[in-house]
């Protein structure tokens, strides 16, 4: 999946099917002059249903197909035959998708679990045929109910990535490199800021064939929560991560200051993010000798466990995976 194919926000127009009308048929048969009413009921209109699909992780498949219309129900007919129910139409979305009303922005529901199906718009009920209205005083009703019209409207689909570990850091902190080394993901890597323009997901292989999901969130800069840089567009993806892995390079001028800036941006976006488990990794540590590491340790932020790693030199990665696995399973 390339960066250009990542879509995490779009609007969709949906329309459920109208119910079929009831029949006003009167029974006619040789030798039966007054057969009476036998009009059947109309069929239900098709629903519009949003369905979880664990093979998806972006809304890109909806980018060029934003209109969904369910089938109308069939009309009732003679001999009390009911009309065919309209076929439901499904909109497949990845886990973590939020569906909002397109006008009010009200959250209607979220898709967060496997095999989840939610009706977005119900199809209209079919009308009753004249057979339902017969009585001792009205033996030949010549009327039936029309079907109820379907519903329609615009809806906002918003994706928040579901990942076990979210990588948080400034541009060029080494997040994409770490993801490419720990997983089979192939994010764009270069020596300039904002190389990553879209979030990337990867599956980390752990011991005994166990796995967990890691997400690389585009680099945050100071003021991201107010709209600066790219990070503010993707801060919402961090909300669904179980663990926040802060990545700060070893050649940073002030590791503690960078950590506090990152922490403040998360707080400005959503204070609840500070309640998540956090781990700090000092990247590019292959450039440090033991003496420099000891000096850096004296200036590390308090209250957070810190590991020294190097994605390129494959240093400290086993310990990092062990620590993340322990945090995920405590």
- 264 assigned ligand-binding residue: no
- 171 assigned ligand-binding residue: yes
- 310 assigned ligand-binding residue: yes
- 12 assigned ligand-binding residue: no
How many angstroms separate the CA atoms of 2 and 200, rounded? 9
- 285 assigned ligand-binding residue: yes
| CA torsion through residues 103, 93, 212, 177, sign | negative
Show the CA angle centred on residue 162, arms to residues 309 and 202, nearest 5°.
Answer: 45
- 218 assigned ligand-binding residue: yes
- 217 assigned ligand-binding residue: yes
Q: Which residues of 30-49 are buried (b: 16+ CB within 10 A; e: fewer)?
A: eeeeeeebbbbbbbbbbbbb
- 312 assigned ligand-binding residue: yes
- 173 assigned ligand-binding residue: yes
- 221 assigned ligand-binding residue: no
Contact 39, 91 (CB under 8 A): no
- 283 assigned ligand-binding residue: yes
- 195 assigned ligand-binding residue: yes
- 196 assigned ligand-binding residue: yes
- 172 assigned ligand-binding residue: yes
- 219 assigned ligand-binding residue: yes
Residue 216's nearest CA partner among 190, 192, 185 is 185
- 176 assigned ligand-binding residue: yes
- 216 assigned ligand-binding residue: yes
Annotated binding site for GTP: 169-176, 194-198, 216-219, 283-286, 310-312
Annotated binding site for Mg(2+): 176, 196
Annotated binding site: 169-176, 194-198, 216-219, 283-286, 310-312
């Amino acid at each position: 999946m390339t960066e250009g194919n990542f879509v995490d926000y779009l609007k969709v127009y949906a329309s459920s099917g109208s119910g079929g009308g009831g029949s006003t048929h009167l029974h006619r048969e040789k030798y039966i002059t007054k057969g009476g009413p036998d009009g059947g009921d109309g069929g239900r209109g098709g629903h519009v249903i949003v369905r979880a699909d664990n093979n998806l992780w972006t809304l890109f498949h909806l980018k060029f197909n934003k209109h969904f219309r369910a089938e109308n129900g069939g009309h009732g007919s003679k001999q009390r035959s009911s009309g065919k129910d309209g076929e439901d139409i499904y909109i497949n979305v990845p886990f973590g998708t939020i569906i909002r009303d397109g006008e009010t922005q009200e959250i209607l529901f979220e898709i967060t679990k496997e095999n989840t199906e939610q009706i977005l718009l119900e199809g209209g009920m079919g009308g009753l045929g004249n057979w339902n209205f017969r009585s001792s005083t009205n033996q030949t009703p010549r009327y039936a109910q029309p079907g109820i019209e379907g519903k329609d409207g615009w809806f906002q689909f918003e994706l928040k990535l579901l990942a076990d570990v979210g990588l948080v850091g400034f541009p060029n902190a080494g997040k994409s490199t770490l993801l490419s080394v720990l997983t089979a993901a192939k994010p764009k890597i270069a020596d300039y800021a904002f190389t990553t323009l879209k979030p990337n997901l990867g599956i980390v292989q752990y011991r005994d064939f166990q796995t967990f999901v890691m997400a690389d969130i585009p680099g945050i800069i100071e003021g991201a929560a107010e709209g600066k840089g790219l990070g503010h567009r993707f801060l919402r993806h961090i909300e669904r991560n179980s663990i926040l892995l802060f990545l700060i390079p070893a050649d940073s001028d002030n590791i503690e200051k960078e950590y506090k800036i990152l922490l403040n941006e998360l707080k400005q976006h959503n204070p609840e993010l500070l309640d998540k488990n956090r781990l700090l990794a000092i990247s590019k540590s292959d450039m440090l000798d033991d003496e420099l590491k000891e000096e850096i340790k004296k200036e590390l932020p308090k209250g957070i466990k810190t590991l020294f790693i190097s994605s390129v030199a494959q240093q400290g990665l086993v310990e990092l995976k062990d620590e993340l696995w322990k945090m995920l399973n405590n």
